[in-house]
Chains A and B, each alone.
Chain A
Amino acid sequence: MTSLVIAEHDNALIKGATLNTVTAAKACGGEVHVLVAGEGAAAAAAAAAQIVGVSKVIHADGTSLKDGLAENVAAQILSIAGSYSHILFPSTAAGKNIAPRVAAKLDVAQISDITKVDSADTFERPIYAGNAIATVQSADAVKVITVRTTGFDAAAATGGSAAVETTVAVADSGKSALVGREVTKSDRPELTAAKIIVSGGRALGSAEKFSEVITPLADKLGAAIGASRAAVDAGYAPNDLQVGQTGKIVAPQLYIAAGISGAIQHLAGMKDSKVIVAINKDPEAPIFSVADYGLEADLFTAVPEIAGAL
Chain B
Amino acid sequence: MKVLVPVKRVVDYNVKVRVKSDGTGVDIANVKMSMNPFDEIAVEEAVRLKEKGVVTEVIVVSCGVTQCQETLRTAMAIGADRGILVETDVDLQPLAIAKLLKALVDKEQPGLVILGKQAIDGDNNQTGQMLAALTDLPQATFASKVEVAGDKVAVSREVDGGLETLSLSIPAIITTDLRLNEPRYVTLPNIMKAKKKQLDTFKPEDLGVDVAPRLKTLKVAEPAKRGAGVKVADVAALVDKLKNEAKVI
Contacts and interface: CB of A to CB of B under 8 A. Distances in A.
Interface of B is mostly: mixed
Interface string B198-221: 000000000000000011111111
A226 B149 CA distance: 36
Interface stretch (A43-51, A97-105, A161-169): A97-105
Interface stretch (B48-56, B140-148, B187-195): B140-148
A268 B220 CA distance: 17
B104 interface: no
B168 A104 contact: no
Interface stretch (A54-62, A137-145, A152-160, A206-214): A137-145
Contact of B168 (A97, A126, A175, A277): A175
Contact of B239 (A93, A96, A309): A309
B184 interface: no
A98 B141 CA distance: 10
Contacts, number: 247
Interface stretch (A30-38, A80-88, A107-115): A107-115
Contact of B162 (A140, A183, A271): A183
Number of chain B interface residues as a range: 35 or more
A171 interface: no
A136 B125 contact: no
Given A297-B235, A309-B236, A129 B168 contact: no
Interface string A195-231: 0100000000000000000000000010000000100
B65 interface: no
A27 interface: no
Nearest to A78: B133
Contact of B217 (A135, A275, A310): A135
B138 interface: yes
**Max chain A CB contacts within 10 Å: which of B11, B117, B129, B162?**
B129
Contacts of B105: none
A131 B15 CA distance: 11
A306 interface: yes
A134 B217 contact: yes
Given A136-B218, A294-B231, A296-B231, A131 B17 contact: yes
Contacts of A294: 229-232
B197 interface: no
B219 to A, nearest CB: 4
Contact of B165 (A97, A180, A277, A292): A180
A1 interface: no
B89 interface: no
A253 interface: yes
A175 B169 contact: yes
The interface centre, meaning the residue of B16, B19, B162, B230 with most chain A CB atoms within 10 A of its CB, is: B162
Nearest to A74: B133
B134 A104 contact: yes
A93 B249 contact: no
Nearest to A17: B160
Contacts of A183: 161-162
Given A136-B215, A181-B163, A192-B160, 8 more contacts: A101-B133, A108-B214, A178-B166, A233-B178, A239-B163, A265-B13, A275-B246, A309-B239
Interface of A: 69-71, 74, 92-94, 96-105, 107-113, 122, 126-140, 173-184, 192, 196, 221, 229, 233, 238-240, 245-246, 248, 253-254, 264-265, 271, 274-277, 288, 290-297, 302, 305-306, 309-310
25 contacts: A92-B160, A99-B129, A100-B130, A112-B126, A126-B123, A129-B120, A131-B26, A132-B17, A132-B222, A133-B223, A135-B221, A136-B217, A137-B215, A176-B140, A181-B164, A184-B162, A240-B160, A275-B242, A291-B229, A293-B241, A295-B231, A296-B231, A306-B239, A310-B239, A310-B249
